[in-house]
Structure 1
Amino acid sequence: MMLPTRTTVEELDPVFAEMASATFRLAGAGPELTPRERALLGLVADVCEQVLGMPYELHVRAALDNGLDADDLRELLRFISYDSGYPAALAALERLAEIEREHGLPGPTGQGHRVNADGTGSPLPATMRAEVRALDPGFADYMDLQSRMRAGMSRISVRERAFATMTVDVLFQTLEESFRAHVGRALGAGATPDEIRATVRATAPFGMTRTWRALNVLDALLNERKEREGKETPESA
């Protein structure tokens, strides 16, 4: 497998390579996220930013080195397509297939999940569905479809999916309704506040000022949740 390495970057500019290495080393420090999770988040960032050249190849390499395979990567692209946009995910899918051919990598086995496109209902919370339907029924139908089509996914865990959608929110700066929902999903999947902070912090190499803004919003959300939980806890006698 001859995917790009740090040496490839050094050949372009050794000073940039040193800066980038130090940056990603610090961004990847800490025990809160696994190497697999960090690899997935790097790929999500590439899709959102449509950075599908050498950085994407480096992140594909990192994903493969951390146990992900071609089927896993395709499920990730299918999953985030509703947030990144289908055209962006399609471009990343096309590039992934090119990388596999160019470097002789194993391709997908064809494993997928049942796409319940013609069904009804949605696994989204009832309150959220009602709020969106009151806003716009047509858009509510669209959201129901997107969530329903993903209900059978299993290769990427619920925790990883929550972290992926939080990453999309930071990069797109959609830090209101969707960010709140995705932080809630991460907490519901067992992620700790420190792990959620680390997920947001991991976006810094892809645009530091957006991360700064997102950390401020996250801090407010976590404090709000803590205060609410404190009020719901009965005082001891």
Structure 2
Amino acid sequence: MTTTETPTNLERLAALDPVFAQMVGATAKYVRAVPELTDREKAFLSVTADVCQASLGLAFRAHVQAGLAAGVSTADIRALLRFVSYDCGYHAATAGIERIAELEEELGIARPEAEALAPELLSTGPDAAPSPLPEPTRARLTELDPHFTGFFDLQSRMRTGHGPGTLSERERGLVSLSVDVHYQTLADTFRAHVGRARRGGAAPEDVRAALRFVAQYGVTRAWHAWEALNPILAES
């Protein structure tokens, strides 16, 4: 009697290029040892990197499966994709939603149900819920363009939920600042997202840990991010 076992994602990669698989394995081992981040946060940061960089093949599968092994549900991944969509772009997040749906079917995971957003969160008219944006931020955006402010208001309203399956403030901050690293938006938005992570309870060393972890997704981008981050943390 013969038995067959499903190859791991690293074994799949080794079948394509064994030396490259060695490099990936050593890199992942080093960065995953960062102690300040939870396994859930590491999964979120990895999936965010995949979506921002349109890496939805073996890497995305590996990161989702690592999250599942750590207790991160596909409902959590979907909540993450909804959250990052306004930073990475809805077109990029759409590809992530398509891919997670494919993996759910492939892995035999039931598609999770989600409560629909209330009409006042989707409205941009007089019946819209109040904007959760801080007034100084809204004022700065309005100086740029009032329509753009309305867009930000809408995006912020749609992400105000904190029910089951949503991200904590700390997780939102760490994920958002990682998006800045991928796109090299390392000025005002990076500063704001570092502040969000800090308000959510992340210590300076936790923020540094996020950047240490994200270095695996582009070392030169991480280098530039360090040059921006250290002065911000020095101020606080």
Q: TM-score, normalised by structure 2?
A: 0.90
Aligned-residue CA RMSD in angstroms? 1.7
- Shift of the 142–183 alpha-carbon distance from structure 1 to 2, 3 Å rule, reads same
Q: Is the 8 A contact 1:4 1:57 kept in 2?
A: no
The aligned amino acid for 1:217 is: A
The aligned amino acid for 1:72 is: D
Partner residue of 2:187?
176
Partner residue of 2:208?
197
The aligned amino acid for 1:192 is: A
- Shift of the 107–162 alpha-carbon distance from structure 1 to 2, 3 Å rule, reads same
1:29 aligns with 2:33: yes
| CA–CA separation in structure 2 for the residues paired with 1:120 and 1:111 | 18
The aligned amino acid for 1:39 is: A
Identity of aligned residues (%): 45
Partner residue of 1:235?
none
Partner residue of 2:109?
105
- Shift of the 112–21 alpha-carbon distance from structure 1 to 2, 3 Å rule, reads farther
Q: TM-score, normalised by structure 1?
A: 0.90
Q: 1:224: how far off?
A: 2.2
Q: Which moved more, 1:104-113 or 1:20-29?
A: 104-113
1:63 aligns with 2:67: yes
- Shift of the 188–221 alpha-carbon distance from structure 1 to 2, 3 Å rule, reads same
Q: 1:96: how far off?
A: 0.9
Partner residue of 2:232?
221
- Shift of the 102–181 alpha-carbon distance from structure 1 to 2, 3 Å rule, reads same
Partner residue of 2:169?
158
The aligned amino acid for 1:15 is: V
Structure 2 gaps of 5+ residues are none
Partner residue of 2:141?
132
- Shift of the 145–3 alpha-carbon distance from structure 1 to 2, 3 Å rule, reads farther
Q: 1:5: how far off?
A: 2.4
- Shift of the 170–35 alpha-carbon distance from structure 1 to 2, 3 Å rule, reads same
Q: Is the 8 A contact 2:49 2:179 kept in 1?
A: yes
Summarize deviations over 1:88-116 as a string: whole Å, max 9, x none: 00011011111111232232133465461
| CA–CA separation in structure 1 for the residues paired with 2:194 and 2:141 | 18
Q: Which moved more, 1:102-111 or 1:58-67?
A: 102-111
The aligned amino acid for 1:137 is: P
Aligned residues: 225
The equivalent position to 2:157 in structure 1, one of 134, 148, 153, is: 148
Q: Is the 8 A contact 1:4 1:54 kept in 2?
A: no
Structure 1 gaps of 5+ residues are 226-237
Runs of 4+ with deviation above 3 angstroms? 1-4, 110-115
